[in-house]
Structure 1
Amino acid sequence: MATIYEARRSLLKEHLTSNNIGAAMITAPANVYYYTGFNSDPHERFMSLFIDTQADETYLFVPALDKDAAMQDSDVTTIIPISDEQVPFEVVRDSVAGLSATVGIEAKALSYYRYTSLVEFFPSVQVVDVQPFINKQRMKKSKEEITKLRIAIEIIEKVLEEGIKKVKIGMSESEFTAELEFLMRKFGADGPSFSTIVLTGEKAALPHGSPGERKIQKGDYLLIDFGVIKDGYCSDITRTFIIGEASDKQKEIYDIVLRSNEAGINAVQAGVPVKTFDIEARNVIKNSGYGEYFNNRVGHGLGIEVHEEPSIHENNEQIAEAGLVFTIEPGIYIPNVGGVRIEDIVYINEDGNAEVLSSFPKQLQVL
């Protein structure tokens, strides 16, 4: 029986063949994992899934030190190790049958250095970008993928539930971040899915700020945006709390962001442009007089990577369809004052309806 990875490669092969693309050289680690089951960051070393449609051969080139892991995790039978002293494209040239056709690459992933190496060893090759097809294929999540995402979400929500019990006035953002990342491992995560964001007070106005030595004080906003990676899939959730006592202004801003988050989620369904979700959420903030304090998109796709397609912004005409998973995360960020963001993960199920995969309570909590 074909594995899920074989089935995914078959769809890619069909695309290559129907577009007269002789081979594909997939180098983005997330895409290699999607098509082979082997999840690895090769750092500066060369790793590639090479599909030769002309010879009907599939090769997985990996750094020599990853060979055993690749053999264990991947369903590709031809795994070719490349040791540190070898020239990667020389190994590719010696392994792949004569290649003189068009090669599909991921334009965003292939560096200029790798491109020049490819044409040095395969002078007659032309490249074409197959990234749009791969993005489209990866965008629609299977039931197995949803199960993995649910597990990653479950872990991060457990971390948040336990983590907020450890908040103390006088604790630094960095100390609290360390507590959260310890809990991630304790509850079974493979690691954070991105650098944990813990921001307090006026720093909560920085949508992607970094935790530092600022100490938690009474009356602070406490914005926590974080996620974990588990078995190759990511979670990403944001909740904002108030320390000690919430002012009327803080309550007002929190309520607007909560209504915006819910308006965005309520707009989600198959068959409408994804921009609708951004517009509906944004209108709540605009109509409340805080439009100038929300200047980023309302969400992004989530899966093997923490940011993937689709991008949920007000100009994206792409039609939403079943299988999409993305965040809805409006916020209000007032410079030198603070900010509030509430982020949920939404899945469009096979009936075309929105299912909110995150479940951590959203009513304002004063810690």
Structure 2
Amino acid sequence: MQVRLEKLSSWIKQESIDAAFLTSTANVFYLSGFLCHPHERLLGLFVFPEAEPLLICPQMEVKQAKDAGWSYQILGYDDTQNPWEMIRDALIFRQIHPDGVRTLAVEKDHLSYRRAELLMSIFPDVRLVSAEEKMHQLRMIKDAQEIGIMREAARLADYGVEVGISALKEGVTETEVVAAIEMALKQKGIQGMAFSTMVLFGEKSGLPHGIPGNHRLQEGDLVLFDLGVVLEGYCSDITRTVAYRSVGEQQREIYETVLQAQLNALGKCKPGTPIGELDKTARDVIEKAGYGNHFPHRLGHGLGIEVHEYPSLTETNMDPLQPGMAITVEPGIYVEGVGGVRIEDDVIITEEGCEILTGFSKELRIVG
């Protein structure tokens, strides 16, 4: 964590910024090792070019922050105290006068208008600038420890798909399969699911972000699983599609097209490749098969502390892949009245190419 703080502090100094104030759970965790979901309460981290950082959190979370290894000052407050007044007093005590903070880096995508007003009441002449891009840059490249955790999180995602397939039987509902998956994963010791687990049957598999319900499984349905876990603060994300008892000719064609698109894109996963080339590679396969209008989303996204991180794998993103990037590769085809297929893997870019973290089979499986 110290190295990460030093990198941000050096950037602040280089850009002639007086301080950074980060309030998102993900960025505070990245820089402090302290994972906190404060709900409506304030969680914040001040980082300075020279002075030691300052963590602000609810009083009831102070022990957890210390247990996480945070060794610098913690400003804990209870529900009857005003944390903004406490921040002002703490800074003055440190001889950091609010009038002297003229430029403050914040997460513009996260900081609410109300909190921006409160910050400006503390720092009356402040100019807010964005810390978002720098934090994206820092978090985008994973270190060995992060990759090790993500390997295990991916292994557990594989297990979740295995449990889901084992739960398939005639008449079972989507939500019943979701419950089986999540119970089995919680028994493995995960912190939680990375997002709402998706299990979709039949025509509903044709909804890229469908919501599981009481739809019952029947022969000939495609079954789409999209799930991930949170382990030690890091996410996994896998999608697999199977057929129940039988598969139609068009369903098979869709599946094989998506699989080829994904394999071709994975073949481009190496340092220096423009990100947009991955999306175009997969999209070309799908368009050639006549399903271009049925692939409505980007190829994938960054992965890490959050399930959706930088970079975005769109055709227009020409940033090069770099060693240490963690991304998903997940083309899909969704046809109304037929169903949908999506195949997704978690991928780490390495010096030589890539490492695919998720290992569950991608062969078309007819189960039941």
Per the TM alignment, residue 352 of structure 1 is displaced from its structure 2 partner at its CA by: 3.9
* Off by >3 Å, runs of 4+ in structure 1: none
Aligned residue in 1 for 2:38: 42
Q: After superposition, give the CA deviation of every residue in 1:193-228 in whole Å (9 maximum; x if it has no partner).
A: 000011111111110111001111110010000000
Q: Which amino acid aligns with 1:49?
A: L
- Name the SS of the counterpart of 1:108 in structure 2: coil
Higher deviation after alignment, 223-232 or 72-81 = 72-81
List alignment gaps of at least 5 residues for structure 1. none
Instruction: Report if the CA contact (8 A) 2:168-2:177 is conserved.
Output: yes
Deviation (angstroms), 1:162: 2.8
- Does structure 2 conserve the Cα–Cα contact (< 8 Å) formed by 1:157 and 1:360? yes
Name the residue aligned to 1:98. Answer: 97
Residues 155 and 188 of structure 1 are in contact (CA less than 8 Å); yes or no, is this contact kept in structure 2? no
CA displacement 1:212-266 (0-9 Å, x = unmatched): 0111111001000000000000000000011111111111111000001101101
Match of residue 47 from structure 2: 51
2-structure distance, mates of 1:188, 1:360? 20
What SS does structure 2 have at the residue aligned with 1:295? coil
Contact preservation (8 Å) 2:5, 2:31: yes
CA distance in 2: counterparts of 1:313 and 1:140, whole angstroms: 19
Give, in whole Å, the separation in 2 of the partners of 1:276 and 1:326.
14
Q: Does 2:29 correspond to 1:30?
A: no
Q: What is the match of residue 202 of structure 2? A: 201
TM-score, length-scaled by structure 2: 0.96
Percent identity, aligned pairs only, is 39
Give me the whole-angstrom Cα distance separating, in 1, the residues matched to 2:110 and 2:138. 17
Range with bigger deviation, 234-243 or 76-85 = 76-85
Q: Is the 8 A contact 1:163 1:183 kept in 2?
A: no
- What SS does the aligned partner of 1:45 have? coil
Three-state SS of the structure 2 residue aligned to 1:80 is strand
CA displacement, residues 174-193 of structure 1 (integer Å, 9 cap, x when unaligned): 11111111011012211100
**Contact 1:197 1:226 (C-alpha < 8 Å) held by counterparts:** yes
Aligned to 1:344: 345
After the TM superposition, which residues 257-296 of structure 1 pair with which residues of structure 2 at under 5 Å, given as runs? 257-296=258-297
**Partner SS for 1:300:** strand
8 A Cα contact 1:190 1:228, kept in partner:
yes
Name 2:161's counterpart in structure 1: 160
Q: Given that residues 160 and 227 in structure 2 are in contact (C-alpha distance below 8 angstroms), is that contact kept between their aligned partners in structure 1?
A: no
Match of 1:57, SS state, is coil
Q: What is the deviation of 1:73?
A: 0.6
Partner AA of 1:311 in structure 2: S
The 8 Å contact of residues 59 and 76 in structure 1, kept in 2 or not, is answered as no
What's the CA shift string for 1:261-299, capped at 9, x where partnerless?
A: 101101111112100110001110000000000011000
How many Å separate the matches in 1 of 2:66 and 2:322?
Answer: 35
Matched residue SS, 1:40: coil
SS in 1 for 2:53: strand
Q: Name the residue aligned to 2:121.
A: 120
For the Cα contact (< 8 Å) 1:27–1:48, is it kept in 2?
A: yes
Residue 6 of structure 2: which of 10, 18, 24 is its match? 10
Q: Corresponding residue for 1:354? A: 354
The residue that corresponds to 2:314 in the other structure is 313
Distance 2:332 2:228 in 1: 18
Counterpart residue type for residue 45 of structure 2: L
> Number of residue pairs matched?
361
Q: How far apart in 1 are the matches of 2:97 and 2:38?
A: 26
Specify the alignment match of 1:111 in structure 2: 112
Residues in 2 aligned to 1:139 and 1:156: alpha-carbon distance in whole angstroms: 21
Find the aligned partners of 1:263 and 1:7 in 2 and give their Cα distance.
Answer: 37
Mapped to 1, the partners of 2:164 and 2:255 lie a distance apart of 21
| Contact in 1 for aligned 2:229/2:236 (Cα 8 Å) | yes
Structure 1 residues 66-145: aligned runs within 5 Å: 66-96=61-91, 97-99=96-98, 100-145=101-146
Q: How many angstroms apart in 2 are the aligned matches of 1:144 and 1:186?
A: 24
Give the match's secondary structure for 2:75: strand
What residue identity is the alignment partner of 1:98? Answer: H
1:39 counterpart letter in structure 2: L
Secondary structure of the corresponding residue to residue 246 of structure 1: coil
Write the distance in 2 (CA, Å) between the matches of 1:109 and 1:263. 36
Tell me by how many angstroms 1:74 deviates: 3.4
Deviates more, 1:30-39 or 1:93-102: 93-102
| Stretches of structure 2 lacking an aligned partner (at least 5 in a row) | none
SS in 1 for 2:61: helix
